[in-house]
A = this chain, B = another copy of it.
Amino acid sequence: MADLDLTELHGALTDRALNSMNFLNEVAQHYPNAISLAAGRPAEQFYAVEDLHSYLDTFCDYLRDELGYDEAAVRRTIFQYGRTKGIVHQLVARNLLADEDITVDPEALVVTVGCQEAMVLALRALRATPADVLLAVSPAYVGITGAARLLDLAVLPVAGGNGGVDFDDLVAVIKTARADGLRPRACYVMPDFANPSGLSLDLDTRQRLLDVAAEQDLLLLEDNPYGLFPAEGIERLPTLKALDTERRVIYLGSFAKTALPGARVGYVVADQVVAHPDGTTSLLADELSKIKSMLTVNTSAIGQAMIGGKLLQHDCSLVAANERERATYAENLRALTEGLAARFPGGEVSWNVPSGGFFLVVTVPFVVDDALLAKSAQEYGVLWTPMSHFYDGDTPIHALRLSCSSVTPAEIEPALDRLAALIRDQL
């Protein structure tokens, strides 16, 4: 006998965004022998448990030697409830300066339970009434859509086009929304090696996006989990936040790919100034901190110590710390694109060649849905992600996402053979 009825629980629970992750995980669990070109997790061959012991000790030494804490204060910092905005904020600020040329007041940072909580904090603050809407460059990371669903925040897709953002569509979406009485608060965008498209914005597009955001009085939510992983010979471009002179960008940071996912530590740079009715002001980070105090109280001090320790061991730069990982992803991405070229010389199957990151998109002349993924897993032994999971609505999508981050070069060849067999059988 049932105790509750799903239709009487929050509507997000029946939404595609919240169920697609579950579906994709379940497929992977049901077919453990299938090679996965689906998982977006980082490479794990360089992890070592001893490093965690070392990170913890390094962070405790920092508390003692650099911050001057006595042993009681060290213990208190690691074991107790702590500062809502985090305890590695100074190190994160150094990291942003070293790796991204972003100068940020550590007080404008909130250290979060992964980047996902950073998204939730920003969206919760910005969604004041049902008229508030979020824009998201499409196809969009399912985590932003899911976070918005939890907060009953509508997401309006903006076409990505070939350059990563279709500015005509962006302005049209804003104008239509305003004409409908809606209030576009921000536009979510992943300018570097985006998940799922693999696309990056060139420098002109970045600058123009900032200009349009200023003209339209819109905030930008910049998500940058993959920026440190350019392909071979590719120069990294400045982030929107590095180019932002007007505090237009809320920057969502992740250490999952550049340090380790198991710490669950991310952050948000929220240096916007908030005017209060009494004439005082605060940083948006302090407002987000109030929300955080009621979501998770604070980010695990032990998780933060791991990230802090890793940062300290690499002079707060994760570029050099990820040289092996960067080379791994670049090699895998090349193997994927070259392998596709060798198998599909014809032209009816096409794909993009990203300049870095974890993902590329293969376009095929047939609809790619969950049923086809299940068939691929069961009959062909290869997993990938239907691009339909990254679009709202029911429009059939003729594309799939391949990930290069957690396979070995030796797995890529048979995986592509299996994918090619599936595609040929569908044609």
Chain B residues whose C-beta falls within 8 Å of the C-beta of A409 in the assembled complex: none
Chain B residues whose C-beta falls within 8 Å of the C-beta of A4 in the assembled complex: 272-275, 284
Q: How many copies does the complex hold?
A: 2
Chain B residues whose C-beta falls within 8 Å of the C-beta of A300 in the assembled complex: 113, 262-265, 300, 302-303
**Shortest distance from the beta carbon of A76 to any chain B beta carbon, whole Å:** 6
**Which residue of the partner chain, among B42, B48, B72, contacts A75 with CB atoms under 8 Å?**
B48
A74 to B262, CA, bound (A): 12
With an 8 A cutoff between CB atoms, is A5 at the interface? yes
With an 8 A cutoff between CB atoms, is A339 at the interface? no
Asked if A306 meets B302 with Cβ closer than 8 Å, knowing A80-B261, A126-B9, the reply is: yes
Asked if A75 meets B52 with Cβ closer than 8 Å, knowing A9-B126, A273-B1, the reply is: no
Between A and B, 19 residue pairs with Cβ closer than 8 Å are A3-B246, A4-B284, A10-B124, A18-B291, A18-B293, A21-B293, A42-B80, A44-B76, A49-B74, A53-B56, A80-B261, A80-B262, A81-B256, A116-B297, A120-B294, A147-B294, A263-B302, A264-B303, A302-B306
With most chain B CB atoms within 10 A of its CB, the pick from A19, A262, A300 is A262
A284 to B44, CA, bound (A): 33
CB proximity to B under 8 Å, residues A8-32: 8-13, 17-19, 21-22
Chain B residues whose C-beta falls within 8 Å of the C-beta of A10 in the assembled complex: 124-128, 291
A246 to B84, CA, bound (A): 38
**Shortest distance from the beta carbon of A221 to any chain B beta carbon, whole Å:** 14
A9 and B275 contact, CB distance less than 8 A: no
A3 and B272 contact, CB distance less than 8 A: yes
With an 8 A cutoff between CB atoms, is A419 at the interface? no
A262 and B7 contact, CB distance less than 8 A: no
Return the CB mask of A112-146 against B: 1 if under 8 Å, else 0: 01101100100011111000000000000001001
**Shortest distance from the beta carbon of A389 to any chain B beta carbon, whole Å:** 13
* A interface with B by C-beta (< 8 Å): 1-13, 17-19, 21-22, 41-42, 44, 47-49, 52-53, 56, 60, 72, 74-76, 78-82, 113-114, 116-117, 120, 124-128, 143, 146-147, 149-150, 246-247, 256, 260-265, 272-277, 281-282, 284, 287, 290-291, 293-303, 306
Chain B residues whose C-beta falls within 8 Å of the C-beta of A81 in the assembled complex: 41, 256, 261-262
Asked if A47 meets B22 with Cβ closer than 8 Å, knowing A264-B296, A294-B143, the reply is: no
A94 to B126, CA, bound (A): 42
A49 and B53 contact, CB distance less than 8 A: no
A54 to B7, CA, bound (A): 46
**Shortest distance from the beta carbon of A63 to any chain B beta carbon, whole Å:** 10
A75 to B261, CA, bound (A): 12
**Which residue of the partner chain, among B22, B47, B291, B306, contacts A290 with CB atoms under 8 Å?**
B22
Which residue of B has the minimal Cβ distance to A10? B128
Which residue of B has the minimal Cβ distance to A278? B6
A299 and B127 contact, CB distance less than 8 A: no
Chain B residues whose C-beta falls within 8 Å of the C-beta of A17 in the assembled complex: 294
**Shortest distance from the beta carbon of A129 to any chain B beta carbon, whole Å:** 9
B56 and A52 contact, CB distance less than 8 A: yes
A45 to B277, CA, bound (A): 44
Chain B residues whose C-beta falls within 8 Å of the C-beta of A277 in the assembled complex: 6-7
A41 to B301, CA, bound (A): 15
Known contacts A3-B284, A49-B56, A264-B297; can you find 8 more A-B pairs with CB under 8 A? A3-B274, A41-B81, A44-B76, A49-B60, A79-B260, A79-B261, A150-B295, A302-B303
A120 and B295 contact, CB distance less than 8 A: yes
**Shortest distance from the beta carbon of A297 to any chain B beta carbon, whole Å:** 5
